[in-house]
Chain A
Amino acid sequence: MRTAKPGTGLRFDWIGTLFACLLTLFIALPLIVVGTWAFTEVWRYPSVIPQQFGLRFWGQTLARSDVWDALLLSLRLTATVTVLSAVICLPAAYAFARMRFPGRNILFLSFLASHAFPKFGLLVAIAGIFLRLGLISTFWGVVLIQLVGTLMLMIWIPVAAFQNVDRRMEEAARDAGATPLRVFWSITLPQAAPTITAALLLTFVGTFYETEGAWLIGAPGIRTMPVLMISFINNQIVVQYGAVLSVMLWVPSFIALMFARRVIGTGAFARGFGA
């Protein structure tokens, strides 16, 4: 959709260079800093670069039992939420994309409800209900709160995927005598699969790093990875522990998210948020 004025290709792009420099400083610097700390053994003020690089703190961080407990719990929780979210949302997404039923538009828009309220206020209101139900500080309490957070993403993006499937191919298969289930399995699903996989990845990574619900509903019994990191920050223990965890946990999820980038780039993602 971009256009350039004729001749702009030859002129030096001052504005672009300015944006590129400012954004590099603002966006990249904090991440470079945390990455450097993870591989640093000694870095004392006022030295601009660390006095001693090394991997000693990787060993120390990985030897902590609280890190392993939090990691395994986070993985178990995230896998549960992602699977449940897929099982609950994907059939609904198909129905919203392909079927006509009363109240379809209103029900579809209702998934935006969670975005129309200040999030933490909503979490406090839910926590009030969970307190009465005895779900505070339980595994399933955190699963439920995180499941709600995934609903919009796992419905809006797959709906777009199902709507973009080539109808003519489906009709051709049906004309050739394929059953509706066969058409869905062999034509519809393979075409929608890349976008649905991206939605699953976004859900998995988003849930893994979800902090607010996990803390408000889960504390003190459920301690996920982000909650552990908050306690590392609050208790001011060795700087490198948090830095090592940041690098160790973020790099794989960053790679996973790169696969989902196509979905974000198409504009469907921004439209999902109402642009």
Chain B
Amino acid sequence: MSADTALAAPRRHQSIDRRSFIGLLLVALPVFLVGWLIVFPIFSAVVGTIFVRGPDGATEFSLASYRFFFSDGYSLGNLWLTLWTTAVCGILLLAIGLPIALYLRFSQGRLAAYVQALAIFPMFVPSIILAYALIRTIGPNGTIDLLLNAAGLPKLRTPYLTPWGPVIGLVWDNLPLTVLMLTAGLSSVSNSAIEAARDVGAGPLRVFVSIILPRMGNSLLVTASFAVLGIFSAFTLPYVLGPASPEMMGPFMQRTFADMNDPLNAMTQAVITFALCLVFGIFYIRSIARNREARP
């Protein structure tokens, strides 16, 4: 090793350390915000609902708020409604989103562009405007009723203020990301694999089951996880379009926290939603981490 390189090596090492330090410094503030406003509140909610301050001011271990939740018929009714809504929306989103994504993957031209634009359009419409628009459309004496009446058909029982109201709103709202994520997943299915299957005589259904589905299993699960996490504690659409009782966990938590001024029980409800969605959350993060590793 020459004298020059011997001198240069520690200097380079020092400069890498300085760059590492600058890098860490640049990311410090947002990382701190994530720690303070996401990780810490979750940790604090779990600890705060288990170690409760008693009337004498001393902190003691107690599961009373959880016992109350799981023995209270109203709370359980809300949880059941939330699970039902999430499952129905998840199934509907995949049932509607997958055929659209498949169509977009294998079609081109103006009609495909129009379908894509419409499917993505709800992303540009805020939930609150959607809620307002849906009340005027599917609500009592709304546009659907007007059109049915004009066609000489009887009125439909309105889904507004029933569990189907939030389902319609949430499917509308979540359709764009479902289609985008599934289309992104489908782009990993190569044309040559599909053409090879077609060459040996496979029909569209066979191509879908044997070629496409196995390759996008992960993408389907990520999309479903994302939808579940978003819908499980949705607030605006269930609050505006849904029934007052039972209500979904989002409005239930808001009412417990703000209207009933009962943070302990609201936090307990929040921790229960975390626990129920944990599997989806872990799956979601793990799959993204794996995707990133796979990418150069």
> A residues bordering B, Cβ < 8 Å?
1-5, 8-9, 13, 15-17, 19-20, 23-24, 26-31, 33-34, 37, 45-48, 88-89, 91-92, 94-96, 99-105, 107, 109-122, 124-129, 131, 144-145, 147-148, 151, 155, 209, 211-212, 215-216, 219, 226, 229-230, 233, 239, 242-243, 246, 249-250, 253-254, 257-258, 264, 267, 269-271, 273-275
Contacts and interface: CB of A to CB of B under 8 A. Distances in A.
Contacts of B196: none
Contact of B132 (A9, A27, A246, A274): A246
Contacts of B177: 270, 273
Contacts of B175: 27
B154 to A, nearest CB: 12
A109 B111 contact: no
Contacts of B41: 122, 125-126, 128-129
B187 A267 contact: yes
Q: Is the interface of A mostly helix, strand, loop or mixed?
A: helix
B107 to A, nearest CB: 6
A94 B142 CA distance: 50
A116 B285 contact: yes
Contacts of A212: 235-236, 250
13 contacts: A2-B106, A30-B137, A34-B129, A107-B31, A117-B42, A124-B266, A125-B42, A127-B263, A128-B48, A147-B33, A148-B33, A151-B30, A243-B132
Contacts of A271: 184, 291
B135 A233 contact: yes
B172 A270 contact: no
Contact of A125 (B19, B44, B182): B44
Nearest to A213: B235
Interface of B: 16, 19-24, 26-27, 29-31, 33-34, 37-42, 44-45, 48, 99-100, 103-109, 111-112, 114-115, 118-137, 141-143, 145-147, 149-150, 172, 175, 177, 180-185, 187, 191, 219, 222-223, 226, 229-230, 232-236, 239-240, 249-250, 253-254, 257-258, 263, 266-267, 269-271, 273-274, 277, 281-282, 284-285, 287-289, 291-292
A125 B181 contact: no
B235 A13 contact: no
A2 to B, nearest CB: 4
Given A118-B233, A230-B128, A45 B146 contact: yes
A274 B287 contact: yes
Given A2-B104, A125-B45, A155-B30, A46 B223 contact: no
